[in-house]
Amino acid sequence: MLRIIFMGTPDFALPALEAVKNSGQELLAVVTQPDKPRGRGKRLTPSPVKVWAAEKRIPIFQPQKIRGNLEFLNQIKEMNPDLIVTAAYGQILPGNILAIPPLGCINVHASLLPEYRGASPIQQALIDGRKKTGISIIYMDEGMDTGDIILQRELDICPDENAGQLHDRLSTLGGTMLSEVLRMFEQGKPAGTPQDSDKATYCGKIDKSMGEIRWEQSARSICNLIRGLTPWPGAFTFFNNGKRLKILRALIADHPNQKNHIPGIVLKADQTSGLLVACGQGIIRIAELQEQGGRHMTDIDYLRGNPIEIGMQLGRQGRGNGIS
């Protein structure tokens, strides 16, 4: 029986954590990020991994920082793990922790490494308009997602899929694959395949400012941005003298006259066509939206009570002014 420590924080990690728990191995402890203030009241909220572990009465550790934390290092050493498993933990493991388990430390990463090393592989694959992604389970080293690959599987991205939907499918796939990898470890330490660093790409953390739509971009690029940033942090534009409009779903649209429109101009806004907006190249339909302080609505439902003038320009430049 392997002695395993699991390190993870968000919902993405839960199927992997369940896989460890159901593997027949010994789950020694869970390490997760400290509780964080959330919501309007800034109430301290535990991570999904902490909630899961507390319900199962698994020991929980929440170090503020693990690098340079001698107390935490000694706690890990005292538990004497054979293997450390991580999934979206949120901190980089230093060398002195990586060296503790004799079978190494492994990570469940949501991309086809060496593509999309870093913090936001799910969102970035959608923003870039990729057709495939996947899960890579790798040995960890001191680099950023640079370790040898133990197991990798592809997943097709659905044409209209957003980051939340893709996240859930990849999370489930990660749990299934980790179960398979843990069975491999029962036979001894499996071999890994080195990554081709010449093909490596990187993605940073998602910032809320990334969600502002630049209407001079193509319709395809804008749709992909919306997919990649839904449900969080969300893509948005401005209308009606600076009011913020969150766009939750958009589609490539047809229009009789596809040319010579100022980007951001509203071309149609009715119960038949919905809300059509010109882009730098092509046209999109804003199919689902949320006005500042309002609720999630389809464009048809929104237009019933909130007429929008054809010729209005969305974005910072237009600020809701009617443009003929």
| Residues 59 and 196 occupy one common structural domain | yes
| Residues 127 and 145 occupy one common structural domain | yes
Alpha-carbon span 114 to 277, nearest angstrom: 37
CATH of the domain at 279: 3.10.25.10
* Domain closes at, from 203, 220, 252: 203
Amino acid of residue 6 = F
Q: How many domains does the chain have?
A: 2
With residue 48 as reference, give the H or E element that holds it: helix 48-56
- 92-107 burial code (b ≥16 CB/10 A, e <16): ebeeebbebbebbbbb
With residue 56 as reference, give the H or E element that holds it: helix 48-56
Alpha-carbon span 55 to 121, nearest angstrom: 30
Q: Is 31 a domain residue?
A: yes
DSSP code for 67: T
DSSP code for 191: P
Question: Nearest Cα to 279, choosing from 300, 256, 252?
Answer: 252
In Å, how far from its chain's centre is CA 98? 25
| Residues 299 and 162 occupy one common structural domain | no
Write out pLDDT tens, residues 109-135: 999 999 999 999 999 999 999 999 999
| Residues 161 and 221 occupy one common structural domain | no
Amino acid of residue 68 = G
Amino acid of residue 143 = G
Sign of CA dihedral 47, 52, 56, 58: negative
Q: Is 174 a domain residue?
A: yes
| Residues 102 and 251 occupy one common structural domain | no
| Residues 117 and 247 occupy one common structural domain | no
Q: What pLDDT does 42 receive?
A: 86
Q: Is 116 a domain residue?
A: yes
| Residues 185 and 243 occupy one common structural domain | no
Q: What pLDDT does 292 receive?
A: 87
Q: Is 213 a domain residue?
A: yes
From residue 50, alpha-carbon distances to 54, 92, 308 in Å are 6, 19, 46
Alpha-carbon span 136 to 112, nearest angstrom: 6
Q: Enter the pTM of the model.
A: 0.94
| Residues 147 and 236 occupy one common structural domain | no
With residue 202 as reference, give the H or E element that holds it: strand 202-203
Amino acid of residue 295 = R
| Residues 194 and 261 occupy one common structural domain | no
Q: What pLDDT does 158 receive?
A: 97
Alpha-carbon span 186 to 182, nearest angstrom: 7
The answer to whether 27 and 21 have CB atoms below 8 angstroms apart is yes
- Look up tokens 């923003």; give the residue: 127
| Residues 215 and 145 occupy one common structural domain | no
CATH of the domain at 48: 3.40.50.170
Domain of 72?
3-203
| Residues 158 and 13 occupy one common structural domain | yes
Q: Which residues of the chain have pLDDT under 50?
A: 319-324
* Domain closes at, from 181, 203, 225: 203
Alpha-carbon span 293 to 274, nearest angstrom: 21
Q: What pLDDT does 284 receive?
A: 97
Residue 208 neighbours by CB distance under 10 Å: 11
* Domain closes at, from 160, 185, 203: 203
Question: Nearest Cα to 172, choosing from 6, 9, 7, 11?
Answer: 11
| Residues 164 and 236 occupy one common structural domain | no
Amino acid of residue 2 = L
Alpha-carbon span 324 to 321, nearest angstrom: 10
With residue 253 as reference, give the H or E element that holds it: strand 243-253
With residue 269 as reference, give the H or E element that holds it: strand 266-270
Q: Is 83 a domain residue?
A: yes
